[in-house]
Amino acid sequence: MTEPSARSVICTVDVVLLTLHEGALQVALLRRDRPPFAGALALPGGYVHADEDADTAASAARVLHDKAGLQSPYLEQLATFSGPVRDPRGWSLAVVYCALVPPALLAGSPLTLVPVTDVPALPFDHRAMVDAAVARLRSKSQYSSMPVHLCAEPFTLPQLQAVYEAVLGEPVNKVSFRRKMDELDMLEPVPGALQTGGAHRPAQLYRVRPAYRRHLSLSVRGL
């Protein structure tokens, strides 16, 4: 019995890059410079380079560096999308990552920010990838430190609470939030750093503990 003829499989990584802008959760899109769908807005993505990428996480970090000038933001593998019809070039497999960055890191980049509530039609199955990433972020925000990666350091607790509220799309009780931050134990005060000005007393500034700059702190209870 002869073996069936081999068919090449297109293997890529795509990155759903999320940030906060003007108090709203936004996704970063990039205009494609080559077929298929040349000129269309899409997620940043590219081929896996088998000769230089240690794994798909390295592929995703390289894509963000090469296409958006970003240095290793928080990355989390989201899902794999595959099949014969999702890419007009042939049978394809895309490993999708979710990346979170503070908005200041996107200044000067070629990316276009779009509110996640107003994402236009996208090529391939990129819209489904965005929806999956937003659902993951909102779900994990209930019991993890994930939203902290959208907040530029240093920050106050009220500023971080505002980030959680923007992600969740609803107010969060202040007492419950402070209790959750204590449980997650992901923050450390910046010695001697206070935010001053305004009508309120100076507020302590915080940063993420080194152990949680690439990993999440988890809690057994939600907000």
Give tens-digit pLDDT for 103-147: 999 988 999 999 999 999 999 999 999 999 999 999 999 999 999
Which residue(s) pair with 113 in the sheet? 28
> What distances in angstroms separate CA 169 from CA 94, 138, 163, one per listed residue?
29, 9, 10
| Rounded distance between C-alpha atoms, residue 39 and residue 31, angstroms | 6
| Rounded distance between C-alpha atoms, residue 173 and residue 177, angstroms | 6
Q: What is the pLDDT of residues 148-198, one digit of tens each?
A: 999 999 999 999 999 999 999 999 999 999 999 999 999 999 998 787 766
| Rounded distance between C-alpha atoms, residue 205 and residue 62, angstroms | 32
